[in-house]
Amino acid sequence: MKKQIASLIWLIAIIGFVIGCYGIYQRFAFGHRLTDYGSYIPWGLWVATYIYFIGLSAGSFLLSTLVYVVKIEKLEKIGKLSLFTAFGCLIAALISIWLDLGHEFRVYRVILHPNFKSMMSWMGILYSSYFVVILFELWFAMRVDLIKTASIGTGLIAAVCRFLALGSSDTSDKSRARDSRVLKVLGSIGVPLAIAFHGGVGMLFAVVGARTYWHSGLTPIVFLVGALASGGALLTAIVYVWGPDRNRPQFEDMMRFLGKIVLSLVLLDLLFEISEYFVGMYAGIPDEAIPIKAVLFGHYWYVFWVVHVLFGVIVPVWIFTRNAVSRPVGKTSPGAIAFAALLVAVTFMALRLNIVIPAQINPEIEGLQYAFMGPGLNYTYLPTVSEWLVTIWIASFGLLLFLIGYNVLPIVNKDDKEVA
């Protein structure tokens, strides 16, 4: 069953990648002319995709710190898996925001000529640091396994592992203890870093005083909780298909534990959301109330009520409660928990879209939309086919990166890998 799911995901990733290539061609051949965002709604689907993936990355990275810093035994074997998931999602997020730039080849300016008053400059600095921390952490977490795989195997995989071991050959207990110490230090650096960069993404939106819908002290916190909820959910679904110990009794225990974590985070996120919406709607100040009304009752109401509330909250919460909380151990279904987690992870995109787009639909000066006509000078937005194709390509690329990495690198130990 799990083998079939894995094969299906390979198939989806390859098809998405191939179809998405046409979107990438269009992006480079026609620039931004085939997109629907413009001057009055300057940020569209690709920005939402970026905060979606960066949230997934931050969330699964923070869960990896439960292994390397807090040393929670139940999750010990998924440390590398969560780090690698965070790595794949980070790459997808960075590609998404890179393609969104008007001059993508000038991106180096953010690092070389930063403006320290700009949250986006800080993002450049923090992402670079985070990228380095993840790479180092992954290397130290996999070092011994890389050496082992390189020594026992032959062929391409062994060669890749030998190359990635970077000449290291020490598998003694002493070196393992050093790896563990280094991982604890890197993980400890990673915690404030992940909080800073993802809280920082929230800040990036929150500091825009001109957009009242974003301009709230709660925004960075909502981003963090959302990251944990979506990243945790993605990791739970991944653990079910590719995780360790899948045929062992402790697997159910681990899935229940992950299910409980995701359940609480989804509910906490919902609480923040309700608070934001109630406060905004009660005061009824148009700058804030118009975007909220658009989310709840606008043209795209189903994105909130059906995709987010029904399939992203109600259904998963019900499944989690039954399988991870109320039913006794031994009678729960890890598959159901994984399915609920997958629902949360996938539908979180609706929440991200509902953060980015509605804030921009309200004309900053009354009548601006009628004053001058032209492409990009309107307050409606619906992603074009070209935009969707690029997003599909990015998601498929991230997925393929994960799948190839999983098969080549010792992300899950061979002994723990056996599948029913």
Partner 1 sequence: MAIIDIEPQEEIRQRMMNDLKRALKKPMNKRHWVMVIDLGKCVGCHACTTACVAENHLPPGIVYRPVMEKEIGRYPNVRKTFLPRPCMQCDNPPCIKVCPASATWKRPDGIVEIDYDKCIGCRYCINACPYSARTFDKGFYYCDDTPFVPDYEKLPSFEYGKEWPRKNRDDSPVGNARKCTFCLHRVEKGILPACVTTCLGDATYFGDSNDPDSLVSALLGSPRLMRLKEEFGTHPSTFYLV
CB of 327 to partner 1, least distance (A): 47
Please select the residue that binds partner 1; options are 8, 15, 18, 42, rule is CB under 8 A.
42
- Structure token pair of residue 162: 């030998």
- 210 counts as binding partner 1 under rule CB under 8 A: yes
Please select the residue that binds partner 1; options are 23, 24, 40, 198, rule is CB under 8 A.
40
- 153 counts as binding partner 1 under rule CB under 8 A: no
- 283 counts as binding partner 1 under rule CB under 8 A: no
- 102 counts as binding partner 1 under rule CB under 8 A: yes
Please select the residue that binds partner 1; options are 158, 182, 191, 207, rule is CB under 8 A.
207
CB of 216 to partner 1, least distance (A): 15
* Stretch (H or E) spanning 254: helix 250-283
The whole-angstrom separation of Cα 28 and Cα 79 is 37
Smaller CB separation from partner 1, 7 or 115: 115
Please select the residue that binds partner 1; options are 174, 217, 374, 415, rule is CB under 8 A.
374
Q: Of 60-68, 69-77, 118-126, 253-261, which part binds partner 1 (CB under 8 A)?
A: 118-126
Supply the angle between the helices 218-242 and 79-100 in degrees, to the nearest 10. 120
**Would you call 201 exposed, middle or buried from its count of C-beta atoms within 10 A (0-12, 13-18, 19+)?**
buried
CB of 284 to partner 1, least distance (A): 18
The whole-angstrom separation of Cα 363 and Cα 256 is 47
**Residue 209, SS3?**
coil
- 201 counts as binding partner 1 under rule CB under 8 A: no
The whole-angstrom separation of Cα 282 and Cα 277 is 8
CB of 355 to partner 1, least distance (A): 13
Helical residues (DSSP H) of 173-249, grouped into ranges: 173-206, 218-242
Q: How far is CA 330 from the centre of its chain?
A: 31
- 331 counts as binding partner 1 under rule CB under 8 A: no
Question: Residue 290 region, left (φ>0) first, then alpha (ψ -120 to 50), else beta?
Answer: alpha
CB of 208 to partner 1, least distance (A): 5
Residues 15-34 within binding reach of partner 1 (CB under 8 A)? 31-33
DSSP letter at 133 equals H
Q: Of 2-10, 149-157, 335-343, 370-378, which part binds partner 1 (CB under 8 A)?
A: 370-378
Query: What are the two backbone dihedrals, phi and then psi, of residue 225, each rounded to the nearest 5 degrees?
Result: -65, -40
- 344 counts as binding partner 1 under rule CB under 8 A: no
Please select the residue that binds partner 1; options are 376, 403, 413, 417, rule is CB under 8 A.
376
Give the per-residue contact string, 349-368, with partner 1 (x = CB under 8 A; - = no).
Answer: -----------x--xxxxxx
Instruction: Measure the CA angle with vertex 377, ends 373 and 381; round to 5°.
Output: 130
- 101 counts as binding partner 1 under rule CB under 8 A: yes
- 43 counts as binding partner 1 under rule CB under 8 A: yes
What does the DSSP assignment read for 286-355? Answer: HHHHHHHHHHHHSTTHHIIIIIIIIIIIIHHHHHHIIIIIISPTTS--HHHHHHHHHHHHHHHHHHHHHH
- 330 counts as binding partner 1 under rule CB under 8 A: no
Structure-token match 């905060």, residue found: 51
CB of 285 to partner 1, least distance (A): 12
Smaller CB separation from partner 1, 41 or 344: 41
Contact present, 134 and 83 (Cβ < 8 Å): yes
**Would you call 242 exposed, middle or buried from its count of C-beta atoms within 10 A (0-12, 13-18, 19+)?**
buried
CB of 370 to partner 1, least distance (A): 7
- 106 counts as binding partner 1 under rule CB under 8 A: yes
Smaller CB separation from partner 1, 125 or 310: 125
- Structure token pair of residue 93: 């997020």
CB of 89 to partner 1, least distance (A): 21
> How long, in residues, is the chain?
420
Question: Using CB under 8 A as the criterion, which residues of the chain lie in contact with partner 1 when the complex forms?
Answer: 31-33, 35, 38-40, 42-43, 100-104, 106-107, 109-110, 113-115, 117-121, 123-124, 204, 207-211, 360, 363-368, 370-372, 374-377
